[in-house]
Structure 1
Amino acid sequence: MVAVRCDLEDFAAEAFEPFARAEQRRWGEVYLRGLLLDGGRKSVEPMAARLGEDGNRQALAHFVTTSPWGAAHVRARLAWRMQPVIKPTALIIDDTGFLKDGGASACVSRQYTGTAGKVTNCQAGVSLHLASNNASAAVNWRLFLPESWDPAASKADPKKVARRASCAVPAELGHVEKWQLALDMIDETRSWGVDVSQVIADGGYGDTAAFRLGLEARGLDYVVGISTTTTAHSEEARPCTAGYSGRGRRPVAAYPEPARRVKDLVIAAGKVSARPVQWREGSRPGSGRSGHKRMYSRFVALRIRPAGREIRKATAGTELSVRWLLAEWPAAEDEPVQFWLANLPDNTSLPVLVRTAKLRWRIENDYREMKQALGLAHFEGRTWPGWHHHVTLVSVAHAFCTLRRLTRSPKETASA
């Protein structure tokens, strides 16, 4: 226990080096220990009760809620610390819900969250994770501000707008869509010198053409989930221009056939085109070489030309770009069940496409670990700075656990 404590102190000293005062660094390390201790809720009061002589509830509450330290500085140091360890091959973007009973916390609103699988009263946080096959770490966060909290929005709720001041929501902040928050986080993370050229996201982001175009404008590769209704042309389709009489505006080149749903394109290719791919071995017992169950399914990969109003507007009537369409079509299913769009090179193999798309499991694993063991959703404060402080500190605690796991000897890992 002493060795772990010393390791934690060293790690905390590195993570909290940007803090202006020694007192902030002290309470940062104490809060971190509170998150790592076994126990139930990881809000301030129960953590203080478990921390013994360091369990100063008032000091901990002040540190996480009102102490003037910048979360971005800690996140940058966390990214610098974790990048050489994780050796990330991708940035993964997603969002998670923080369920709330009341409406007093910053940016709480009735909105859909995958955490509950329905529309409910919650906050929504967008996160960015460094990820490789072996490990991942959340290094950037944004709290989503719904239109009901934006005084300039047509859907503004006067009661919620009135709570902005008491929740310390910065006056200049308004409603920004989640996909734009994701692009902003990518820009910020790259400004720290953490330059990872590949992005993975689910359909909540991939369905938005502006998000994909934003990634391409930044020179980034992507594999993103899409819904079945996303439309596209086949790779062989070519635009043509109607005859021009010499008067009026010259007609824009258009595709003679309407775009089709990606689901229909895959079904037209046929189940016979699906190929088996194993992308990793899971954690459950099975017949894999490590004694775990193989993660295995069948997939179809097609070259297509994504369509849609925003795409056509961006291409200004020129030929639509060719992209990869990946679809999972299990042997037991009559239709494909999941779809991704990718701008990876045209010589990318099917196993690489699948393994890249499936790397998104790491962010789900991070959320589960941070929520179940480290109290990600347990913060009971109501302020905008407090939320950002808490999720940043949980990310630091999660990174510490990841480092401990990666640096264990095989004997330690087996005993654990």
Structure 2
Amino acid sequence: MISTSSRRRRGVMVPTLDVREEVTAARSDPDAVSRFCAALLASLPRADQRRKGELYVRGLLTASGRKTMRNLAAIADDPAAAQSMHHFISCSTWEWETVRAALAGHLDRTLSPRAWVVRSMLVPKTGRHSVGVERRYVPALGETVNSQQSYGLWLASETVAAPINWQLSIGKGWLQDNRARASVPADEDGTTSDGAAVQAVLKAAAWGIGPRPVVMDARHSALPPLIEAFTTAGLPFLLRISSGCTLLATGPGPRENRVAAASAEHLLSLTRAQRRPVEWIDPASPGARRTSLVAPLQVYWPGLSGARPPGPPAPAPPGAARAAAPGLPLTLLGKWQTYERGVRQMWLTNMTDAGYGPLLRLSKLTRRVETDFSQVSLDVGIQDFEGRSYQGWHRHVTLASVAHALRMLEGGAAG
């Protein structure tokens, strides 16, 4: 059975789950959805809300095609179900953050994740009435797209990944024109894309789940707010960066105290002789073994010389004077394919004591997230909310994340 006792995590009441019994139930008990939802939705104040929550999750798991209110309500033998579920999602009063905290605590124990992976979710829209929709330039596409953008925080291991938190990117201009219509709360003052990514991480960190390295493809992001926020929060990070990112490095030999600024690509071109092969198992193709060439280089991030990486400082040799660092010490990791001359990927991390093999394998967890997003999240309708309410969007992606977790349990992925 699932234990529905609760414990408080920094102000949020989180139902606790008996993980082993719940996983077994999900595989063999036809009422596993009811049992799972009963625990995760225990914070909803009314019994009718909890019933509608379970009905919504069942609809996400079983309805074919787009997860519209009509399709979701079709599993209920009630002509008024669509209107009732619309009110439950868009106009009700239940708090989605408490449900997310419960889901995060459960999956943190079930999956034994190795990382928190941040993934952007861009949803092109034809109209302009959905919450947060505006025309924005998308670097990955090289064009301006009318779209809604959010960031999901995923718990990821080599075998499975699941989202636990979401944050919308809402421009201040859109917010000024649409706050009342979209029922956006007064404490939401608008966020850039990078700010939304940071908030998705920091809000989840406040739930008390075990901290993991934050892994993110940040090639099209502004690095300063990411690095400064994660450093201030004491979180380890591993960020994929663009080739033109400027970093500080010290010169070799007698000029080792000379600090120079150069692009990540140029700095890594100087390490080709230090490249070493690392074997890794592809999370996107379980069992497939691949080999890449990698090389690390110590660099510095300017402007954060007073900060240091997580963990205890390295001891100085006896009698040695500690020179002032030109910035935050980081490791720049380059990855090459064995048959290519140019560097394929560049990653920046504050885990300066980690081996380059573990760092490379950690970076590959983004492939696990991409796989499970495509094969699970899209199938349970993570992008299908068509309402205009800020509250409704957050409640929908919360229950879609619950459905994602249940789909994994159905397939035995979490066991």
Aligned to 1:278: 279
Structure 2: unaligned runs, 5 residues or longer: 1-25, 309-323
Equivalent residues of 1:42, 1:375 under 8 A apart: yes
3-state SS in 2 of match to 1:84: helix
Q: After the TM superposition, which of the residue ranges 119-128 and 385-394 deviates more from structure 2? A: 119-128
User: Aligned partners of 2:252, 2:49: CA distance in 1, in Å?
Assistant: 61
1:52 CA drift (Å)? 4.3
Query: Structure 1 residues 390 and 216, CA, compared in 2 at 3 Å: closer, same or farther?
Result: same
Does 2:368 correspond to 1:368?
A: no
1:399 CA drift (Å)? 0.9
User: Aligned partners of 1:311, 1:4: CA distance in 2, in Å?
Assistant: 53
Aligned to 1:305: 300
User: Aligned partners of 1:2, 1:51: CA distance in 2, in Å?
Assistant: 24
Question: What is the letter of the counterpart of residue 399 of structure 1?
Answer: A
Q: After the TM superposition, which of the residue ranges 170-179 and 24-33 deviates more from structure 2? A: 170-179
1:364 CA drift (Å)? 1.6
3-state SS in 1 of match to 2:179: coil
What is the 5 A alignment of 1:14-25?
14-25=39-50
Query: Structure 1 residues 114 and 139, CA, compared in 2 at 3 Å: closer, same or farther?
Result: farther
1:16 CA drift (Å)? 0.7
Question: What is the letter of the counterpart of residue 219 of structure 1?
Answer: G
User: Aligned partners of 1:77, 1:282: CA distance in 2, in Å?
Assistant: 26
Does 2:151 correspond to 1:126?
A: yes
Q: How many residues align?
A: 375
Equivalent residues of 2:250, 2:258 under 8 A apart: no
Aligned to 1:181: 196
Of 347, 350, 365, 1:340 maps to 347
Question: What is the letter of the counterpart of residue 277 of structure 1?
Answer: V
Equivalent residues of 1:129, 1:363 under 8 A apart: yes
Does 2:337 correspond to 1:330?
A: yes
Of 356, 360, 363, 1:354 maps to 360
TM-score by length of 2: 0.81
Equivalent residues of 1:305, 1:322 under 8 A apart: yes
1:296 CA drift (Å)? 3.0
Question: What is the letter of the counterpart of residue 17 of structure 1?
Answer: A
User: Aligned partners of 1:386, 1:166: CA distance in 2, in Å?
Assistant: 13
Of 216, 241, 245, 1:201 maps to 216
- Greater share of helix: 1
User: Aligned partners of 2:104, 2:54: CA distance in 1, in Å?
Assistant: 18
Aligned to 2:233: 218
Aligned CA RMSD, in angstroms, stands at 3.0
Query: Structure 1 residues 95 and 394, CA, compared in 2 at 3 Å: closer, same or farther?
Result: same
Aligned to 1:81: 106
TM-score by length of 1: 0.81
Does 2:404 correspond to 1:398?
A: yes
Equivalent residues of 2:377, 2:401 under 8 A apart: no
Question: What is the letter of the counterpart of residue 376 of structure 1?
Answer: I
User: Aligned partners of 2:333, 2:352: CA distance in 1, in Å?
Assistant: 13
Query: Structure 1 residues 114 and 261, CA, compared in 2 at 3 Å: closer, same or farther?
Result: closer
Of 238, 254, 264, 2:266 maps to 264
* 1:333-352 per-position Cα deviation (integer Å, ceiling 9, x unaligned): 23112110011133x22211
User: Aligned partners of 2:296, 2:76: CA distance in 1, in Å?
Assistant: 54
What percent identity do the matched residue pairs reach?
Answer: 29
Q: After the TM superposition, which of the residue ranges 191-200 and 372-381 deviates more from structure 2? A: 191-200
Equivalent residues of 2:111, 2:157 under 8 A apart: yes
Aligned to 1:248: none
Query: Structure 1 residues 138 and 205, CA, compared in 2 at 3 Å: closer, same or farther?
Result: farther
Equivalent residues of 1:96, 1:115 under 8 A apart: no
Equivalent residues of 1:205, 1:225 under 8 A apart: no
* 1:344-369 per-position Cα deviation (integer Å, ceiling 9, x unaligned): 133x2221110111112232223213
1:235 CA drift (Å)? 4.2
1:258 CA drift (Å)? 3.9
User: Aligned partners of 1:314, 1:345: CA distance in 2, in Å?
Assistant: 13
1:4 CA drift (Å)? 4.9
Q: After the TM superposition, which of the residue ranges 387-396 and 61-70 deviates more from structure 2? A: 61-70
* 1:290-309 per-position Cα deviation (integer Å, ceiling 9, x unaligned): 7x4323322222222234xx
3-state SS in 2 of match to 1:91: strand
Equivalent residues of 2:306, 2:327 under 8 A apart: no
Query: Structure 1 residues 357 and 281, CA, compared in 2 at 3 Å: closer, same or farther?
Result: closer
User: Aligned partners of 1:266, 1:213: CA distance in 2, in Å?
Assistant: 23
User: Aligned partners of 2:30, 2:180: CA distance in 1, in Å?
Assistant: 39
User: Aligned partners of 2:79, 2:373: CA distance in 1, in Å?
Assistant: 28
Query: Structure 1 residues 101 and 42, CA, compared in 2 at 3 Å: closer, same or farther?
Result: same
Query: Structure 1 residues 323 and 102, CA, compared in 2 at 3 Å: closer, same or farther?
Result: same
Aligned to 1:33: 58
Equivalent residues of 1:97, 1:114 under 8 A apart: no
Equivalent residues of 2:259, 2:326 under 8 A apart: no
1:230 CA drift (Å)? 1.2
1:89 CA drift (Å)? 2.2
Aligned to 1:250: none
Aligned to 2:242: 227
Query: Structure 1 residues 145 and 69, CA, compared in 2 at 3 Å: closer, same or farther?
Result: same
* 1:74-97 per-position Cα deviation (integer Å, ceiling 9, x unaligned): 101111211110112221112111
Equivalent residues of 1:179, 1:205 under 8 A apart: no
Q: Report which of the two structures shows the higher radius of gyration computed on alpha carbons.
A: 1
User: Aligned partners of 2:195, 2:153: CA distance in 1, in Å?
Assistant: 13
